Amino acid sequence: MNRIEASAHCDGPCGVYDPASARVAAEAVQSMTKKMIALEESHSADSGTASYINTMSRYAAIKEEEAHKCKEELLVLWTDFFKPIHLESNPGLHDTFWQAAKLCSACKVEVSAQHAQELMDAVEAIHNMFWAVKGREVPWIRAS
Amino acid sequence: MEKILVTIRGESMWPTLTEGQEIVAIKYHGQEIKVGQIVIFNHPFDNNVIAVKRVKVVDDGRLFVEGDNPDPTASNDSHNFGLLKQEFVIAVAV
């Protein structure tokens, strides 16, 4: 009997997805959060100067932008990459993504080192789920 | 009736067919294709891909084929490439 393989793949090429982009954005959020806290602690006497306000504003703007980018990247993974079958091996998938997206929002509105770290932890959990589904061992790395 | 052993790759036919599952199909010789049957066919937009989907509609000899996976992003099928000419069909699952 002849043998062939038949593709039953998804709408987009699976290879285009990678949680690394969410990780980079989350790292930027954490980095900006740390810089904002450090600036306030070490230069509060200069808080009325233009250079202080400029520096703090830039940190806040980048934090806002990267937190939103992180949320977008996570939502694409959640709604496009992951499929109903993946709930069998990851029953907590929806809650993990929902909590991660909420943490993106929290990091936008707050200056919270705790929530920035929790966002990194959530992205790491999603990294692990993603590569387990793909059947590959990809170590969790950080740029910073 | 020549039989073909087909190995499934991907999850667009989940939960009916899953990754790595093997099914037997009858080589297509112009026999009647009915709604509900699973067909194996050359992808109309990609010569390198042999795909598997279920026939949902037969329209004037052309087929509207769809994955069984309920996720709308899980299947590259007639929602993307439109009605399938029967000349693309390779085999029909038993």
Does the beta carbon of B1 lie under 8 angstroms from any beta carbon of chain A?
no
Residue A2 has pLDDT above 70, yes or no: yes
Burial class (CB in 10 A: 0-12, 13-18, 19+), A56: middle
Q: Which two tokens stand for residue A99?
A: 């909590």
- Range with the lowest mean pLDDT among A5-9, A39-43, A123-127, B88-92? A5-9
pLDDT at residue number A15: 61
Structural domain boundaries of chain B? 3-93
Q: Which one of A1, A10, A17 would you mutate to disrupt binding with B, by most B Cβ within 10 Å of its Cβ?
A: A10
Beta-bridge partner residues of A95 = none
Instruction: Give the CATH number of the domain where residue A86 resides.
Output: 1.20.120.400
Give the pLDDT confidence of A50-95 residue by residue, as tens digits: 999 999 999 999 999 999 999 999 999 999 899 888 998 999 999 9
**Position B27 pLDDT exceeds 80:** yes
This prediction's pTM:
0.78
Placement of tokens 């309920």 in the chain: B70
User: In the 8-state DSSP scheme, what is residue A45?
Assistant: G
Nearest residue to A142 (alpha-carbon basis) of A20, A58, A2: A20
Residue whose structure tokens are 């959530």: A122
Report if residue A5 sits inside a domain: no
* A7:B6 CB<8 A: no
Residue with tokens 């499929």: A83
Quick one: what percent of chain A has pLDDT higher than 90? 83
HSE, CB side, 13 Å, CA atoms: give it for residue A58. Answer: 7
Residue numbers of the domain that contains A30 = 17-134
Whether B94 has a pLDDT exceeding 60, the answer reads: yes
What residue of B is the nearest CA neighbor of A76? Answer: B73
User: Measured between CA atoms, how close is A87 to chain B, in angstroms?
Assistant: 12
Do residues B6 and B25 make contact, with C-beta atoms less than 8 angstroms apart? yes
Residue A73 to residue B35: CA distance in whole angstroms: 39
Q: Do A10 and B10 touch (CB under 8 A)?
A: yes
Is 70 exceeded by the pLDDT of residue B23? yes
A63 contacts A36 by C-beta, under 8 angstroms: yes
| Res. A122: pLDDT tops 80 | yes
d(CA B58, CA B60): 7
Identify the contact set of chain A against chain B, taking CB-CB distances under 8 A: 1-12, 79-80, 83-85
Domain tally, chain A: 1
| A55 found inside a domain | yes
Residues in A closer than 8 angstroms to B76, CB to CB, are 9-11
Supply the ipTM of this predicted assembly.
0.82
For an interface test with B, the pick among A2, A3, A7 (most B C-beta atoms closer than 10 Å) comes out as A7
Interatomic CA distance for residues A118 and A26, integer angstroms: 10
A83/B15 touch (CB, cutoff 8 Å), yes or no: no
Which residues in chain B are closer than 8 Å to A2, comparing Cβ atoms?
A: 2-5
**Does domain B3-93 match CATH 2.40.160.60?**
no
In a domain, A129, yes or no: yes
A134 CA: distance to closest CA in chain B (Å) = 11
Note the pLDDT tens digit of each residue in B30-88. 999 999 999 999 999 988 899 999 999 999 989 999 999 988 788 889 998 999 999 99
Is residue A57 assigned to a domain? Answer: yes
A135: left (phi over 0), alpha (psi -120 to 50) or beta: left
DSSP-based three-state secondary structure for A60 = helix
Give B77's DSSP letter: S
